Amino acid sequence: MKKQTGLGRGLDALIDTHVVTEGSSSINEVDLSLISANPDQPRRSFDAEALEEMSRSIREHGIISPITLRKNDDGTYMIIAGERRFRAAKMAGLKTIPAYVRTAKDEQVMEWALIENIQREDLDAIEIALAYQRLMDEYQLTQESMAERVGKKRATVANYLRLLKLPAEIQLGIKEKKIDMGHARAILGSPSTEQQLDIYKRILRDGLSVRKVEEMVSKKKTESLPKATQKDHPYQEQEKTLEEHLGMGVRIDAKHLTITFRTEEQLRLIIERLLH
């Protein structure tokens, strides 16, 4: 049987070969006053309402899942995973919190925090992209090695990193959940910052679907082609019909049919529409 790798194995499985756990595998009750947040935590925002809900649950039921800490040389602790539970426990008035205490190198802590947050789906797409980029920059990782370490496909890592090429206004819209990952990937198909911002504003104004955005981007790209490539030819009507059906740029020349796409999602849509 092939050995599982990445997120499918869980956080503990990813780090058990690199970490020594204090007190074997037992759970420790750690004083909250001795715990500090990880300054390299990839998650930058915590929803106040969600924290309050978790705090009420903790007051009623206690902490169900221990957090994970690293012990510092001075006897204090830094959070590896579980900052939201730590914050909610403080709000609930707890004095201690159950925790796994581990020894770890600095370079491992951020990686584990990223993995834990991805597993719990706690990060927005921009936070994930920034964390990937930072890990790659600090430890000279390629997209392939980064993907292997977090248990994702290389294309998935690449798609997140591409989000960092978007204008700051659109990145903020992703963080604030004004648009989703599908919209963002479609916007990336537009060649200029001006066009990307224009499409983004139309999404917010008109509530455009991802498919509609893809169609808009494809149309803008076709319109921007040099006039010499748009001259009349025998298959002009057929091209127009296919473009309207597929929502992508189409070119028919002699014995060749060319359909232009930029992302795996657009390719999937092309195949789906051709088959139906």
Q: Are the CB atoms for 247 and 215 separated by under 8 Å?
A: yes
Give the pairing of strands 96-103 and 20-21. Answer: antiparallel
Is residue 83 part of the annotated active site? The answer reads yes
Distance CA 15, CA 78 (A): 17
CA distances (Å), origin 202, targets 29, 31, 170, 183, 216? 52, 51, 12, 11, 10
The active-site residue out of 22, 52, 83, 223 is: 83
208 Cβ contact partners less than 8 Å away, ≥ 6 residues apart: 183, 202, 216
Point out the residues that are catalytic: 83
